DNA sequence: AATGAATGAGACTTCATTCAT
DNA sequence: TATGAATGAAGTCTCATTCAT
């Protein structure tokens, strides 16, 4: 891949993100995608075997960006609750500011594409080897402050409310302000804390 | 014009539920649907104007069935926590035993079909006139036991974890046993209680 | 055919005339036809083998009605020009007052249905044996007042202008008043007279 | 989007003209059209948005060709009658030699496609800007030789016989020879002359 | 390597006709 | 005999993918 083609690949993925988020996978013809990416239809097929592979690659991309966004430094002396709330607020901010990415992910996990992919992967596995911020938190010293429970339930209590609420945000039904974001983050903490 | 065979209409809706849940709206051709329902393609159009209307009708049906399932008698002297946990367990049981319905609803609310429908409607409005079980609970005397917060956040904390976890259940990644169901229900209660 | 069924046959033909004139043969489904005729779809097939036969039967009917309308008594001492103009005005009046019939006939003769039918039949053959009014005129004593020419050309000069103009009338582009009707009839006479 | 192959577009229009003339708009499936034009079905839709647009485009094409055919030089010192007869003979010759075009136009003006188009446009408006040959004639110095009458009636008397007769020609019922063509043209002139 | 015209399988839908009641 | 629900062939159009340039 020459640098030029890497650029083109990104143009395609960017256009795809927009189009998929706006119209859904099935209302985003390759021709339209090509036009928005300012490449020829045929060119897309040099970078991706077919539409499915493009969608999976885009998932990869969006997922990685999300993980990277959540990696952030935290003051060491912070309390577990403060730490968790901090991570949560980061997450909400990121997703609220990247509605296309959120819409794409929701669509992906709700379609035949995302079934075989573990849902928790969304937030519990870091980019290429590194641990995700949440993964570090849940497996680190804060563990003692959490009520002992099945990991699946823990993730559901931690992330379920966010995804639920953000759907309404991204459909324009709600706008989240800081007080509400805090309400949510603290609610989640109360759900999982010891 | 107004067909009399409620039976055939149901056959079609049943086949549609399966097919939509298994393959998604866009990978469920009318021809396949007809075959599974054991009717001719043209017959579907006697009962539903087009595919969209069929999808909306199915939503109606599934939604009503869900609401009906949640209506249950509760001992009057029960505590708010016990009441909430009871409702929650009911909900989880129902959805876990009806994975097609759950998948269909998730898909519906995540598609252009369901956008104009408030997400909370899922659980906060009862079937034709009656109040839903959750609606009664949240607007009833238990209100005093809840932490004051924005309604949207409240619903997110109450229902977000369930929908999150049930996706994994319906993809076959997890099987919920009673202890875990209790963990979840109690976590939710802790998130919203005073 | 009992009287009752003759009635029903007429209801069907009447509905067909309306529907065909308004929407064209190909935008007039049998179901709609049945509804407008207040009979069941299946019943239509007791009276007509299929849609084509219905169309041909309707043509027959409309054609006969037209011929009958043109049969009219004329004072014996009238001049050939007066006679011709009289017949012509009759014809125009009838067709202008029966726009559905006119539209149907135009459509019929312009479709694969009417190709094998001689166009002149329209006006040159009377109902069941009788001679049509125009036939009588052209073959009667007035013949001497006509310029000798091929029959086809004669009919074209006589009837072409009427059908041409009535199309605009039936599309609502023109409304014919008596002066114009006279202009037309006299123009036709000038075209064919000795 | 803007295809370069004018050739292919013409192939499609040629095939369409044949098919529409032979079978009518509604008995000319896109698949058959594609086969006759030796292109894939999908290709037609690169050149025309849908079947309707194809029909309108074909009308455009046929209309222009007809107008162009009628433009011809006339000796300046010719009499109005000779001029009119000359134009008429031209018209008849052209249409008799292009029966598909004639059938297509008749069908077009007799269908919902052509209703909003004034019937006279057929011959009274020239190709893109230029005046049609008949338009020039009727509005030129010959006007003084015509009997004063409503324009609609004038056109009907001039063009009605031609379209009437040519239907039979194009159904193969008659073959026009020069004497008959002259009879017709002169009859028309007698109908409209002063 | 890039382009985009061409392809044709397949989706949705309509509607003439049949047939069980 | 009348009914109208059921049928499925056939029509229009879309769009992922290919391939000649």
pLDDT of residue B134: 87
Residue D101 pLDDT greater than 90, yes or no = yes
Mutate to test the interface with C, among D24, D116, D119, D160 (most CBs of C within 10 A): D160
Q: How does pLDDT run across A110-121, given as a tens digit for each residue?
A: 888 876 665 445
* Interface residues 32-51 of B with strand F (CB < 7 Å): 39-43, 45-47
Enumerate the residues of chain B whose CB falls inside 8 A of the CB of residue A171.
115, 119
User: Which protein residue lies nearest to nucleotide E12, measured between its Cα and the C1' atom?
Assistant: B30
Interface contact D156, partner C, CB < 8 A? yes
Closest Cβ–Cβ partner in B164, B183, B190 for A163 = B164
pLDDT of residue B168: 85
B75 CA to F14 C1' distance (Å): 57
pLDDT of residue D173: 80
pLDDT of residue B1: 41
| Nucleic strand F within 7 A of Cβ A51 | yes
pLDDT of residue A71: 76
Provide the pLDDT confidence category of residue D128 given band limits of 50, 70 and 90.
Answer: low
- Reported residue count of chain D is 194
| Nucleic strand F within 7 A of Cβ C1 | no
Whether residue D189 contacts residue C161, with contact meaning beta carbons closer than 8 Å, is answered with no
pLDDT mean over B134-139: 87
Mark the ranges of chain A whose per-residue pLDDT is less than 50: 1, 3, 119-120
pLDDT of residue B2: 46
Task: Tell the burial category of C99 from Cβ atoms under 10 Å away from its Cβ (0-12, 13-18, 19+).
Answer: middle
Residue D78 pLDDT greater than 90, yes or no = no
Percent of chain B residues past pLDDT 70, beyond the cut: 88
User: Which protein residue lies nearest to nucleotide F15, measured between its Cα and the C1' atom?
Assistant: A29
Q: Nearest C-alpha of chain C: how many angstroms from D159?
A: 7
Provide the pLDDT confidence category of residue C70 given band limits of 50, 70 and 90.
Answer: confident
- Structurally, at CATH architecture level, domain C62-192 sits in Orthogonal Bundle (1.10)
Q: How does pLDDT run across C22-63, given as a tens digit for each residue?
A: 999 999 999 999 999 999 999 999 999 999 999 999 999 999
pLDDT of residue D103: 93
B3 CA to E20 C1' distance (Å): 15
Percent of chain B residues past pLDDT 90, beyond the cut: 67
Q: Nearest C-alpha of chain D: how many angstroms from C4?
A: 35
Interface contact B26, partner A, CB < 8 A? yes
What H or E segment, with its residue span, contains residue C71? none
Sequence ranges of the domains in chain B: 1-48, 62-192
| Equal fold, D1-48 vs D62-192 | no
| Nucleic strand E within 7 A of Cβ D46 | yes
Q: Could you give phi then psi for residue B86, rounded to 5 degrees? A: -60, -50
pLDDT mean over C147-175: 91
Q: d(Cα B1, Cα D37) in Å, to the nearest integer?
A: 41
Q: How does pLDDT run across D145-173, given as a tens digit for each residue?
A: 999 999 999 999 999 999 999 988 887 78
Whether residue C133 contacts residue C86, with contact meaning beta carbons closer than 8 Å, is answered with no
| Nucleic strand F within 7 A of Cβ C41 | yes
C45 CA to E19 C1' distance (Å): 12
| Nucleic strand F within 7 A of Cβ B8 | yes
Q: Tell me what the pLDDT averaged over chain A comes to.
A: 88
What Cα–Cα distance (Å) separates residue A108 from each residue in A63, B59, B176? 11, 21, 24
What 3-state class would DSSP assign to D74? coil
pLDDT of residue D160: 96
* Interface residues 7-36 of B with strand E (CB < 7 Å): 28-31
Q: How does pLDDT run across C115-150, given as a tens digit for each residue?
A: 666 544 555 565 555 677 888 889 888 889 999 999
pLDDT of residue A118: 55
Pick the CATH number of D1-48 from 1.10.10.60, 3.40.50.720, 1.10.357.10, 3.65.10.10: 1.10.10.60
pLDDT of residue A111: 87
Name residue, tokens 């249409």.
Answer: D95
């Amino acid at each position: 891949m020459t640098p030029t083609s890497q650029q083109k690949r990104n143009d395609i993925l960017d256009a795809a993100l927009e189009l998929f988020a706006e119209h859904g996978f099935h209302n985003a013809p390759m021709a339209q995608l090509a036009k928005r990416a300012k490449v020829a239809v045929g060119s897309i097929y040099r970078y991706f075997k077919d539409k499915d592979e493009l969608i999976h690659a885009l998932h990869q991309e969006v997922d990685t960006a999300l993980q990277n966004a959540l990696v952030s430094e935290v003051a060491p002396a912070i309390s577990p609750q403060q730490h968790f709330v901090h991570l949560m607020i980061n997450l909400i901010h990121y997703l609220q500011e990247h509605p296309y990415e959120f819409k794409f992910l929701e669509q992906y996990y709700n379609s035949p594409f995302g079934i075989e992919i573990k849902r928790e992967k969304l937030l519990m596995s870091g980019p290429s080897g590194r641990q995700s911020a949440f993964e570090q938190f849940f497996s680190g010293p804060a563990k003692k402050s959490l009520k002992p429970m099945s990991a699946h339930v823990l993730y559901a209590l931690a992330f379920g409310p966010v995804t639920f609420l953000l759907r309404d945000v991204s459909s324009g039904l709600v706008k989240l302000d800081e007080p509400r974001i805090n309400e949510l983050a603290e609610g989640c903490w109360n759900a999982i804390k010891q």
